[in-house]
């Protein structure tokens, strides 16, 4: 087996740090590049790496995720064996198609398949065609017609912008008036621009949310351990939504039987349906689920790894990630067994003061060197930038302090021990990641 693979990861968040770190631990990978990367995605090779340390070197490449020509030229000139795409925007814009047209190996769904995330109306119509369990809905472009639908719906609704909105385009409504206001904002005021030119209105569901991600080669689906994200900014799920303030896996309320049900009723029929409709789905399929009284219901599909779910799922992956990607591309996932550590993993996101609204950047980050004393701890960088040996904040979600432990409470204890070592002015984080499943109760 060739051990000299060169990999390019596209993106700049904590998810991409986790992807680069995982690939740099592969016995088959010699070098990892991240475009554009962040302050944490550069390190030297470490042939004697132990425990959670990466072995292969990693280096940033100053190319934006939408600079397809630059990325293609880089992949060609640096003999990249595999490109792995982190965020949805380049996927929805067709980066996979562009690389494939140039004869380069890239892991992720095509532009057509990425519509499962890129257009909520496409996804809902697909769910209906394939009879996947999901809330009743309607799709509208006209404000008056949409208002009449809400008036006659007879149940609480959720209003969703059709296009990509970085997770901000969903308004959960308590009343008909609130729904009409959301419709006005999206269809008339265009607060989400063209992404809100069309909306999905769907029945409001209640229950616990969970993310089930799966590897797919277009035919075979292999689910990963279920993960739970914490989207709100404050403890107790208060305040505005964020990109995600922490996560953990596995989720004690999702047993193997439930994962099998999700695979049978959602993931496999979705991948079969995409293949049957001429858009084979290759890469990671992310199912955002609500666990309701009538079973798991699909809230959304994403066409990529979740952030911060990736930061807790990948540290538990025992099987070589590079080989899994290769099997997805060659359609041989059915011949692979994917193994996971039987431990738990938790991550706590450190956010800038003011996030998710406006926040300062350039704040000095201190204390990371103290984390080196804690085994089973990994600090994934997100909104950071490096100047020499100093690290500064450069985004809203600054880093994800991640730990593996024998069980969830051990992982959480270790992650919070790491959090206490890091400091920057106004640093904010949630103290209740793991919620009810934390030893001694939440908060």
| Residues within the interface to ligand GLY (CB under 6 A) | 167, 229, 244, 302, 306-307, 309
Of the candidate spans 201-209, 246-254, 269-277, 337-345, the one that interacts with ligand AMP by CB under 6 A turns out to be 201-209
* Cα–Cα distance for residue pair 34/132, rounded to 1 Å: 36
What's the min distance (Å) between Cβ of 407 and ligand AMP?
26
* Cα–Cα distance for residue pair 102/87, rounded to 1 Å: 21
Is 178 near ligand AMP (CB under 6 A)? Answer: no
Interface of this chain with ligand AMP, residues 94 to 153, rule: CB under 6 A: 135
By a kind-dependent CB cut-off of 5 to 8 A, residue 302 interacts, out of ligand GLY, ligand AMP, none, with ligand GLY
* Cα–Cα distance for residue pair 397/355, rounded to 1 Å: 8
Q: What binding mask, one character per residue, do residues 256-295 give for ligand AMP by CB under 6 A, x or -?
A: --------------------------------x-------
Provide φ and ψ at 258, rounded to 5°: -70, -40
* Cα–Cα distance for residue pair 225/76, rounded to 1 Å: 35
Q: Which among 76, 311, 126 has a CA at the least distance from the CA of 211?
A: 311
Q: Which among 213, 207, 254 has a CA at the least distance from the CA of 408?
A: 254
Give the H or E element holding residue 423: none
Q: Which residues pair with 340 in a beta bridge?
A: 317
By a kind-dependent CB cut-off of 5 to 8 A, residue 307 interacts, out of ligand GLY, ligand AMP, none, with ligand GLY
Nearer to ligand AMP, 24 or 299 (CB): 299
What's the min distance (Å) between Cβ of 172 and ligand AMP?
5
* DSSP, res 258: H
Q: Which among 308, 299, 323, 190 has a CA at the least distance from the CA of 244?
A: 308
Nearer to ligand AMP, 162 or 202 (CB): 202
What's the min distance (Å) between Cβ of 209 and ligand GLY?
10
Within 8 A by CB and 6+ apart from 48, the residues are none
Q: Which among 63, 113, 55, 52 has a CA at the least distance from the CA of 88?
A: 113
Nearer to ligand AMP, 116 or 350 (CB): 116
Nearer to ligand GLY, 217 or 307 (CB): 307
By a kind-dependent CB cut-off of 5 to 8 A, residue 71 interacts, out of ligand AMP, ligand GLY, none, with none
Interface of this chain with ligand AMP, residues 299 to 318, rule: CB under 6 A: 299-300
Nearer to ligand AMP, 112 or 135 (CB): 135
Is 208 near ligand AMP (CB under 6 A)? Answer: no
What's the min distance (Å) between Cβ of 135 and ligand AMP?
4
How many other CB atoms sit within 10 Å of the CB of residue 366? 13
Nearer to ligand AMP, 173 or 365 (CB): 173
- Burial class of residue 174 in the structure, from the number of CB atoms within 10 Å of its CB (0-12 exposed, 13-18 middle, 19+ buried): exposed
Residue ranges binding ligand AMP (CB under 6 A): 135, 158, 160, 167, 170, 172, 202, 204-205, 209, 288, 299-300
């Amino acid at each position: 087996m060739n051990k000299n693979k060169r990999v390019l990861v596209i993106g700049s968040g904590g998810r991409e740090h986790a992807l680069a770190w995982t690939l740099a631990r592969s016995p088959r990978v010699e070098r990892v590049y991240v475009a554009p990367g962040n302050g944490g995605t550069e390190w030297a090779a470490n042939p004697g790496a132990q425990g959670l340390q990466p072995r292969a070197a990693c280096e940033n490449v100053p190319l934006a995720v939408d600079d397809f020509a630059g990325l293609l030229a880089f992949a060609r000139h640096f003999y990249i064996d595999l490109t792995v795409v982190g965020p949805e925007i380049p996927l929805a814009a067709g980066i996979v198609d562009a690389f494939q047209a140039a004869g380069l190996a890239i892991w992720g769904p095509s532009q057509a398949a990425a519509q499962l995330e890129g257009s909520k109306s496409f996804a809902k119509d697909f769910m209906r065609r394939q009879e996947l369990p999901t809330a009743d809905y309607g799709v509208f472009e006209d404000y008056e017609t949409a208002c009449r639908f809400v008036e006659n719906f007879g149940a609480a609704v959720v209003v969703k912008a059709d296009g990509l909105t970085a997770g901000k385009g969903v308004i959960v409504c308590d009343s008909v008036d609130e729904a009409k206001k959301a419709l006005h904002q999206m269809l008339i005021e265009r607060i989400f621009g063209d992404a809100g030119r069309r909306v999905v209105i769907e029945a409001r569901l209640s229950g616990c949310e969970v993310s089930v991600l799966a590897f797919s080669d277009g035919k075979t689906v292999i689910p990963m351990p279920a993960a739970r994200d914490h989207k709100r900014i404050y403890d107790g799920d208060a305040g505005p939504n964020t990109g995600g303030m922490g996560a953990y896996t596995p989720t004690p309320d999702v047993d193997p039987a439930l994962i099998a049900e999700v695979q049978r009723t959602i993931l496999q029929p979705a991948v079969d349906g995409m293949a049957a409709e001429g858009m084979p789905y290759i890469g990671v399929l992310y199912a955002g689920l609500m666990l309701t009284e009538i079973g798991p219901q699909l809230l959304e599909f994403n066409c990529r790894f979740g952030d911060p779910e990736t930061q807790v799922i990948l540290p538990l992956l025992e099987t070589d990630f590079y080989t899994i990607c290769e099997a997805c591309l060659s359609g041989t996932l059915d011949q692979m067994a994917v193994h996971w550590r039987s431990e738990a993993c938790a991550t706590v996101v450190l956010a800038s003061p003011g996030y998710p609204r406006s926040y300062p950047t350039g704040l000095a980050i201190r204390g990371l060197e103290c984390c080196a004393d804690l085994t089973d701890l990994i600090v994934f960088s997100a909104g950071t930038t490096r100047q020499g040996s100093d690290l500064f904040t450069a985004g809203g979600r600054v880093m994800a302090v991640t730990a593996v432990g024998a069980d969830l409470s051990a992982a959480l204890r270790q992650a919070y021990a790491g959090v206490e070592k890091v400091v920057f002015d106004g640093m904010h984080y949630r103290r209740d990641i793991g919620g009810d499943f934390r030893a001694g109760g939440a908060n």
